[in-house]
Amino acid sequence: MKIIFSIGILSLIVISNVYGFTCKNDGFFANPSDVHTYYQCSSGVSYLISCLAGLVWNDTEKMCDWKTVDPITNCENSQQTNCYKTAGWSTDGTIIVGMDSERGSDSQHLSSPLGVFVDTHNGNNVYVADKDNDRIQKFLGSSLSSGGITVAGGNGVGSAPNQLDGPVDVYVDKDENIYIADYGNHRIQMWPKDAISGITIAVRNDTSHGVNYVTFLYSMFFHEKTHTFYLPDYFHGRILKFTNGSNNGIIVAGNNGDVSTFNSLDGPTSVFVDDCETLYVTDSGNCRVQKYVKGASQGITVAGGYGRGNNASQLNMPYSLQVDKYKNLYILDTYNGRIQRWGPNDNVGVTIIGGHDFGNAANQLMYSYSLALDSEGNIFVSDLGNHRIQKFNILPETITC
């Protein structure tokens, strides 16, 4: 949870004039000698201001914030404090769209929502691939319940540059360009910020079943750091990697015959790629999650793999996953109606959301398809069977750092 202080609150904190700090311009500045304080410059005069107890100055966000442990960037040494090891979330979700669990095409409804994405760089705005309405909906992070704004598609089903045909996934980069897995048109579309039409940046080649052929466009992952798309090829049991702008894919996981071995996949549905280019794949047919370090041809099972079931060591058709900066896995265990968290090196998962059978109650899920985390650790779920998006709030008191 981030704390933003108003001027009224600042007046309650001790403020002193500081003559040792030179103001180059007005605004807020870090104090290099003490992370618990910061400088404010006004009309060329500097003031030293203290954050409330337990908070530190975040110079990027220009605000007092909770102290966090930065992730290790050395890919060969991933040892770090796991601040979310015992984190918990609200039992009941808050519905941000689809309150009545009915299909619809207005701003307060969806029809078969699939991919959900949270833009953590630009105010935690939420984007949803609204499949049966052939559009991408945007929900403002500052007012999530105010209704969706159509930012791509919404011009009827079709293949024209301003149309979509059953979009299944969405990604938004730091510049707010929108990337869409356009299922019915077998293509990846990029809609520049505020554009009224899209540009095709990858398309399926129907002339062969080679590495540029994805039979069923289930989801996508865009690795912004390397400008690379990763596409699960569900029916061919493999993950394809496409450099931005190329229609020729490279097999980076799976496609090895026997679907139950460590170097094979059976019905992969989603992929997550971290900053070290480690791949995590929901291997739905084998009810497990496989991890592939960069360049590896053989995967390591890091969740599930004990047959189909609902005990703590099992999964049942996992559809989607996210990995946080502490290497915790958040797995949408779709046919068990729950979200499981598996910490690094854990042998069993912990149910953090759902697990109460299928239904439309606030603590239930129904054939959920995708999940995403915002910058504070809140979890958003596209609850496909209920045509809604739910937000489950993280409980700050359960974070250990």
pLDDT of residue 71: 45
Task: Label residue 65 by pLDDT band (50, 70, 90).
Answer: confident
Asked if residue 73 has pLDDT above 60, the reply is no
160 or 297: which leads in pLDDT = 160
| Domain at 84-400, CATH class | mainly beta
- When pLDDT is averaged across residues 148-167 and rounded to a whole number, the result is 97
Asked if residue 92 has pLDDT above 50, the reply is yes
Tell me how far apart the alpha carbons of residues 114 and 93 are, in angstroms, rounded to a whole number: 18
Each domain of the chain, given as residue ranges in start order, spans 1-70, 84-400
260 or 343: which leads in pLDDT = 343
Q: Specify the CATH architecture of the domain 1-70.
A: Beta Complex (2.170)
Q: Identical fold at 1-70 and 84-400?
A: no
pLDDT of residue 76: 64
Tell me how far apart the alpha carbons of residues 34 and 170 are, in angstroms, rounded to a whole number: 41
* 117-132: pLDDT as tens digits: 999 999 999 999 999 9
Task: Label residue 54 by pLDDT band (50, 70, 90).
Answer: low
pLDDT of residue 22: 82
pLDDT of residue 302: 97
pLDDT of residue 33: 79
Asked if residue 69 has pLDDT above 50, the reply is no
270 or 4: which leads in pLDDT = 270
pLDDT of residue 111: 98
Task: Label residue 15 by pLDDT band (50, 70, 90).
Answer: very low
Task: Label residue 356 by pLDDT band (50, 70, 90).
Answer: very high
Tell me how far apart the alpha carbons of residues 313 and 340 are, in angstroms, rounded to a whole number: 10
- When pLDDT is averaged across residues 392-401 and rounded to a whole number, the result is 94
Stated pTM of the model: 0.81
- When pLDDT is averaged across residues 346-369 and rounded to a whole number, the result is 96
| Secondary-structure breakdown of the chain: helix, strand, coil percentages, each rounded to the nearest 5 | 5, 40, 50
Q: What mean pLDDT, rounded, does the chain reach?
A: 88
Tokens encoding 270: 């989603």
- When pLDDT is averaged across residues 6-14 and rounded to a whole number, the result is 30
Q: How far is CA 210 from CA 185, 206, 390, in A?
A: 18, 9, 39
Residue type, 181: A
- Within 8 A by CB and 6+ apart from 51, the residues are 36, 37, 38, 57, 64
Range name among 75-79, 143-147, 249-253, 307-311 with the lowest pLDDT average: 75-79
pLDDT of residue 206: 55
